[in-house]
């Protein structure tokens, strides 16, 4: 009896442990799969076939659903974040790559690169409610946390478009450095950070007047300037630090988000692409496109603690507590 009780307590504790573990979801562009990683144990748990050429990924605010852009299926799939069953799909338009989910989780905005459009999707109705004409080759897209702005960056036009989320119309356009790739708001919605791949820079714009606050450049000892191609950018909740994935430089830059100074450069896997925080913002996860792994950065110590192989061409990353 005592033995049984002990056993059930142990099993219970193990189950509790499992339930509290964090899950990192990574889309694998070349494997047509979704990788599920336990970052605490530092292990790839499993790979699930998910559709053709999965890239952009987001998780619903209640962490129940994953939205995954399967580019060659020309759709965004809705996946149960626990069972990984496909629950439905959204009319994303052709070849979806990047998309943004608003804070309420009821709208998805998709960049349609080939058609120079942004498609607005009503998530509950699974319907496209509007298509907004933007610049050539829209790529980076984000919604401000206060839901005031939708911002789309056009790679060829070198412009970010400020779109009013209420009317879904462009209010303002801002010229930025060549080939803008990713856009990200600070948690207070006051600043927009834009990475420019060809210029090797990150521009910080004031969301109130859409004016430039600062252009940040990067230098890495032993790495030529042409390899420093900023892509993913993310800023912590307290706006203390921003992190920028530097693509083929295989580095993540740590920037003081108050002074805009580059504080540290961290070595990660090859062609680092997208970034995501753990829910408690203690860790940062990077997808490393050509070394087929993800790296884990410990935020407190500002060090890369582990890299975990996940599969070929990891692209997007989302985290569930």
Partner 1 sequence: MNFLHYWRAMSGIIGRELWRFITQRERFISALVRPLIWLFVFAAGFRAALGLAITPPYETYILYEVYITPGLIGMIQLFNGMQSSLSMVYDREMGSMRILMVCPLPRWFLLLSKLLAGTFVSILQVYVFLAIAWFYDIHAPWQGYLWIMPTLMLSGLMLGALGLLMSSFIKQLENFAGVMNFVIFPMFFMSTALYPLWKMKESSALLANLAEYNPFSQAVELIRFALYGQFDQQAFFYTLGAFMVFMAAAIVGYNPSKGMMSKKGGA
| Beta strand residue intervals within 51-168, DSSP E | 54-59, 65-70, 75-80, 86-90, 99-101, 107-112, 117-122, 127-133, 138-143, 149-154, 159-164
Contact between 107 and 124 (Cβ < 8 Å): no
Q: How far is the CB of 305 from partner 1 (least distance, A)?
A: 7
Least Cα distance to 317 among 202, 185, 182, 187 occurs for 182
Alpha helices in 123-189 (DSSP H): none
- Cβ-Cβ contacts under 8 Å for 65 (sequence gap 6 or more): 59, 78, 79, 80, 81, 87
Nearer to partner 1, 78 or 252 (CB): 252
Stretch that binds partner 1, among 76-84, 91-99, 178-186, 262-270 (CB under 8 A): 262-270
Residue 42 binds partner 1, judged by CB under 8 A: yes
**Binding residue for partner 1, selected from 158, 295, 316, 318, defined by CB under 8 A:** 295
Residue 268 binds partner 1, judged by CB under 8 A: yes
The size of the interface with partner 1 (CB under 8 A), counted in residues, is: 17
Nearer to partner 1, 148 or 227 (CB): 227
What is the DSSP track for 7-27?
Answer: HHHHHHHHHHHHHHS-EEEEE
Beta bridge mates, 314 = 28
Residue 43 binds partner 1, judged by CB under 8 A: no
Nearer to partner 1, 111 or 295 (CB): 295
Nearer to partner 1, 51 or 232 (CB): 232
Residue 269 binds partner 1, judged by CB under 8 A: yes
Contact between 97 and 71 (Cβ < 8 Å): yes
Least Cα distance to 270 among 254, 241, 294 occurs for 294
First to last CA, the chain: 35
Stretch that binds partner 1, among 26-34, 120-128, 135-143, 221-229 (CB under 8 A): 221-229
Please identify which residue in the block is written with the tokens 């962490």: 63
Nearer to partner 1, 281 or 291 (CB): 291
Least Cα distance to 22 among 281, 309, 223, 315 occurs for 281
Residue 263 binds partner 1, judged by CB under 8 A: no
Nearer to partner 1, 10 or 303 (CB): 303
Q: How far is the CB of 33 from partner 1 (least distance, A)?
A: 22
Stretch that binds partner 1, among 10-18, 74-82, 199-207, 288-296 (CB under 8 A): 288-296
Residue 304 binds partner 1, judged by CB under 8 A: yes
Residues lying near partner 1 in the complex (CB under 8 A): 42, 221-223, 250, 267-270, 291, 295-296, 303-307
């Amino acid at each position: 009896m005592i033995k049984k009780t002990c056993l059930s307590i142990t099993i219970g504790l193990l189950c509790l442990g499992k339930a509290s573990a964090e899950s990192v979801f990574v889309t694998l562009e070349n494997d047509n799969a979704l990788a599920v990683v336990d970052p605490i144990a530092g292990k790839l748990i499993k790979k699930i076939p998910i559709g053709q050429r999965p890239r952009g990924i987001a998780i619903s605010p209640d962490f129940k659903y994953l939205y995954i852009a399967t580019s060659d299926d020309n759709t965004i799939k809705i996946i149960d974040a626990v069972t990984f069953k496909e629950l439905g799909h959204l009319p994303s338009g052709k070849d979806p790559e990047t998309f943004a989910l608003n804070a309420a989780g009821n709208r998805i905005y998709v960049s349609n690169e080939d058609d120079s459009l942004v498609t607005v999707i009503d998530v509950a109705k699974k319907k496209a409610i509007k298509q907004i004409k933007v610049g050539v080759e829209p790529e980076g897209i984000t919604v401000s946390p206060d839901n005031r702005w939708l911002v789309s960056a056009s790679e060829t036009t070198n412009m970010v478009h400020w779109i009013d989320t209420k009317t879904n119309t462009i209010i303002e356009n801002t010229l930025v450095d060549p080939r803008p790739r990713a856009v990200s708001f600070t948690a207070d919605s006051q600043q927009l950070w834009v990475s420019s791949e060809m210029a090797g820079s990150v521009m910080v714009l004031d969301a109130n007047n859409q004016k430039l606050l600062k252009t940040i450049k990067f230098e890495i000892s032993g790495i030529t300037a042409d390899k420093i191609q900023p892509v993913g950018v993310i800023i912590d909740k307290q706006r203390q630090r921003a992190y920028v994935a530097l693509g083929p430089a295989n580095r993540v830059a740590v920037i003081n988000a108050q002074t805009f100074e580059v504080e540290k450069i961290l070595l990660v896997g090859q062609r680092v692409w997208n970034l995501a925080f753990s829910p408690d913002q203690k860790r940062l996860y990077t997808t490393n496109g050509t070394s087929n792994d993800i790296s884990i950065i410990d935020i407190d110590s500002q060090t890369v603690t582990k890299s975990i192989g996940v599969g070929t061409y990891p692209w997007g990353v989302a985290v569930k507590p």
